[in-house]
Structure 1
Amino acid sequence: MSAPTLTDPATDTDDRVAIDVEDLTVDLRTPTGTVRAVDHVSFRARRGETLALLGESGCGKSMTAQALVGLLAPIASVTDGTITIDDIDLVSASDAVRRRMAGTELAIVFQDALTALNPVYTVGTQLAEPFRIHRKMSKKQARHEAIELMRHVGIPEPETRIDSYPHQFSGGMRQRLLIAMAVALSPKVLLADEPTTALDVTVQAQIMALLQRLREEHDMAVILITHDLALVAEQADRVAIMYAGNVVETGPVNEVFGNPRHPYTKGLLDSVPVSAERGADLKSIGGTPPDLHSIPVGCVYQARCPLARGRCIDERPTLTRIDDKRAAACHFSEETPNA
């Protein structure tokens, strides 16, 4: 069992903190037993900024997001920690409180818009629903708000397309509709779970520009979940690097990417191709992430780490301050730049 991690030092005393996640722990039930998918994860996100959760597939990013919005049941559950928005802990909150806060305080944009949107209802019906439930608007008023929302996110001719079904829109337009539904009630926190995965490069840029604009207009905290380092470098203010369900490094993006202090972060950055020459060697991190059924007692990264030694086998490093903005979970973080 790992020790509780240190709160992200970038926001310890910031009164603009929109969401405060402390020691979040999620256990996942599988046919072969229960495994720990998220292990004492802590981070904070401020209003008006983008915090990226970055890591390889299977590192716990999406499970963290599902825990935040209460979508773990029945396969997983939060077993420890708190998720605080406006002094309300979502982990211990009742279902009624969570429903009241859904969309108004916390919203999510999924990566697969065609699956997330209901195929049997028009987009107008789906966009109007938050206004009717939370704002108690009439059907006519909610329809008007839905049209304005479509226009706000760049859907052309919304008056004529509001009665269309999700399959009648392109992938990029469907993603805009998902974002429109998420920001309809101006939430304090927006989770964007791989929001551009299935889109081409041009549409990706448009969607990220839309999210950035809406973040500024609504003064939201955006939590961007991705494995795309370039996207994080372009869009995020701060980053939390995740590995095997743990946050191993956190801090401002330019500082973390410019001078990584955890070997996993350095390995990710070194894996980015820097040469376009045919036949040039491509670097990668050797080995594979640990099986969640057999997470090592010590450092979760020990099997793939060039700095690993005896202490790493026996003792789990905790997320420790490097300076007032950064933290890393490595016993030998000062050696990482030369690893």
Structure 2
Amino acid sequence: MTTTAVPSPPRADTPALDVEGLCVDLTTHAGRVRAVDGVSFSVHRGRTLALLGESGCGKSMTALSVVGLLDPAADVTGGAIRVRGNDTLRMSPTERRKLAGPVLSIVFQDALTALNPVQPVGRQIGEPFRIHQGLSRRQAQEKAIELMTRVGIPEPRQRARAYPHQFSGGMRQRLLIAMAVALNPDVLIADEPTTALDTTVQAQIMRLLRDLQDERDMAVVLITHDLAVVAQRADDVVVMYAGTVVENGPVRDVFADPRHPYTRGLLDSVPEHAVRGRPLPAVPGSPPELSAVPSGCVFQDRCPLVHERCIQERPPLRPLGDKRSAACHISEELPHA
């Protein structure tokens, strides 16, 4: 079997992943709706960018668009997704498949669903080496055992013959991570990688991802709604709401002084801000249905500072200096934290 060619690595100043104006439409019972609307961000090797927001804001849809795994009901209708400087949306399906593993990889939140239940885990982890590097089954098995050792699977040679259901949730997540990093990708997308794991195991998984990123100089896109994980793990953050980007910038700056009411609402909802005897703080209301996103500011129905202009005109994502942007008509008027 011959190895497959992938685009050459880019110059050092080229982002590992550059998403520009991404739009995704979704077919629903109510007709076609816009699930992702003009999303842009970039991340360089060695850095972590977090996509942050409530469930249904478009984070996972964005991630699936990047790796080319959208549901048949969804279509990318605009924008560009560049890896190694090449727009994957202009590639043929065969060319895009060549990127899966050596260039782009993803860790899903549901390991039991993502793993094949009827194949031993060693064979699954070794498969990328057979497809992309032409290794024999025995050679691929040895590579799988090496990876299982690296991600902390005990007795890897024996357990390589086991099936996914024979592992705990945390161990299955480690197996998924082993598969994702097998071919040293430029970009690793981690979609809620610690969902349904207890706190101790969550910390272990996030530490493993950090160590592997440092070893392999990967760019990481972290999909999450966990503010603590973003604060601890990410360099930059993109805050999404109703399929749009409402604020972005370095995590330290955005969390210290949010310039969008939604970002401020999320940060104020952290339990440490709670007062004994009073209800937990929360952003009032819920995100709009995709079929009923307002024509003005997407956050207007939940915003405590809504103006007439917010109802009539959608605010663009405007630069605020220091690599920050916010989509708010009154961002500069908000009181500073």
Q: Same fold (TM over 0.5)?
A: yes
Take 1:251 and 1:271, find their aligned partners in 2: how far apart are those partners? 20
Take 1:337 and 1:43, find their aligned partners in 2: how far apart are those partners? 26
Alpha-carbon shift at residue 91 of structure 1 (Å): 1.4
Take 2:47 and 2:276, find their aligned partners in 1: how far apart are those partners? 39
Aligned AA (1:20): D
Take 2:92 and 2:17, find their aligned partners in 1: how far apart are those partners? 18
Take 1:336 and 1:270, find their aligned partners in 2: how far apart are those partners? 15
| 1:23-61 residue CA offsets vs partner (Å, 9 max, x unmatched) | 000001111201100000000011101100000000000
- After superposition, where does 1:96-135 map in structure 2 within 5 Å? 96-135=94-133
- After superposition, where does 1:121-270 map in structure 2 within 5 Å? 121-270=119-268
| 1:260-291 residue CA offsets vs partner (Å, 9 max, x unmatched) | 00000000011111257652331111122111
- Partner residue of 1:337? 335
Take 2:331 and 2:74, find their aligned partners in 1: how far apart are those partners? 33
Take 1:338 and 1:14, find their aligned partners in 2: how far apart are those partners? 36
Alpha-carbon shift at residue 335 of structure 1 (Å): 2.3
Sequence identity percentage: 65
Secondary structure of the 1:318 match is: coil
CA contact (8 A) 1:241 1:265 kept: yes
Take 1:157 and 1:335, find their aligned partners in 2: how far apart are those partners? 59
Take 1:336 and 1:218, find their aligned partners in 2: how far apart are those partners? 41
Secondary structure of the 1:141 match is: helix
Moved more, 329-338 or 137-146: 329-338
CA contact (8 A) 1:16 1:47 kept: no
Aligned AA (2:131): I
2:64 is aligned with 1:50: no
Take 1:234 and 1:116, find their aligned partners in 2: how far apart are those partners? 27
Secondary structure of the 1:307 match is: coil
Take 2:142 and 2:127, find their aligned partners in 1: how far apart are those partners? 12
Secondary structure of the 1:337 match is: coil
Take 1:14 and 1:159, find their aligned partners in 2: how far apart are those partners? 38
Alpha-carbon shift at residue 324 of structure 1 (Å): 2.8
Distance 1:156 1:205, change over 3 A: same
State the aligned residue count: 327
Aligned AA (2:252): N
Take 2:259 and 2:36, find their aligned partners in 1: how far apart are those partners? 22
Let me know the Cα RMSD of the aligned residues.
1.4
| 1:228-265 residue CA offsets vs partner (Å, 9 max, x unmatched) | 00111111111000000001100111110000000000
Aligned AA (1:180): A
CA contact (8 A) 1:154 1:176 kept: yes
| 1:98-157 residue CA offsets vs partner (Å, 9 max, x unmatched) | 110001110000001001000000001101100000000011111110100100111111
In the alignment, structure 2 segments of 5+ residues that lack a partner are 1-10
Take 2:320 and 2:68, find their aligned partners in 1: how far apart are those partners? 33
Q: Could you list the structure 1 runs, at least 4 aligned residues long, displaced by more than 3 angstroms after superposition.
A: 275-278
Secondary structure of the 1:91 match is: helix
Alpha-carbon shift at residue 196 of structure 1 (Å): 0.2
2:286 is aligned with 1:288: yes
- Partner residue of 1:303? 301
CA contact (8 A) 1:25 1:39 kept: yes
Moved more, 189-198 or 65-74: 65-74
Aligned AA (1:130): P
Take 2:49 and 2:30, find their aligned partners in 1: how far apart are those partners? 34
- Partner residue of 2:7? none
In the alignment, structure 1 segments of 5+ residues that lack a partner are 1-12
- After superposition, where does 1:73-88 map in structure 2 within 5 Å? 73-88=71-86
Take 1:236 and 1:160, find their aligned partners in 2: how far apart are those partners? 36
Alpha-carbon shift at residue 336 of structure 1 (Å): 2.4
TM-score (norm 2): 0.94
Take 1:225 and 1:235, find their aligned partners in 2: how far apart are those partners? 12
Alpha-carbon shift at residue 337 of structure 1 (Å): 2.9
TM-score (norm 1): 0.94
Aligned AA (1:325): K
- Partner residue of 1:38? 36
- Partner residue of 1:91? 89
Aligned AA (2:213): R
Moved more, 320-329 or 257-266: 320-329
CA contact (8 A) 2:24 2:35 kept: yes
- Partner residue of 1:64? 62
Take 1:227 and 1:277, find their aligned partners in 2: how far apart are those partners? 22
Take 2:207 and 2:336, find their aligned partners in 1: how far apart are those partners? 36
- Partner residue of 1:3? none
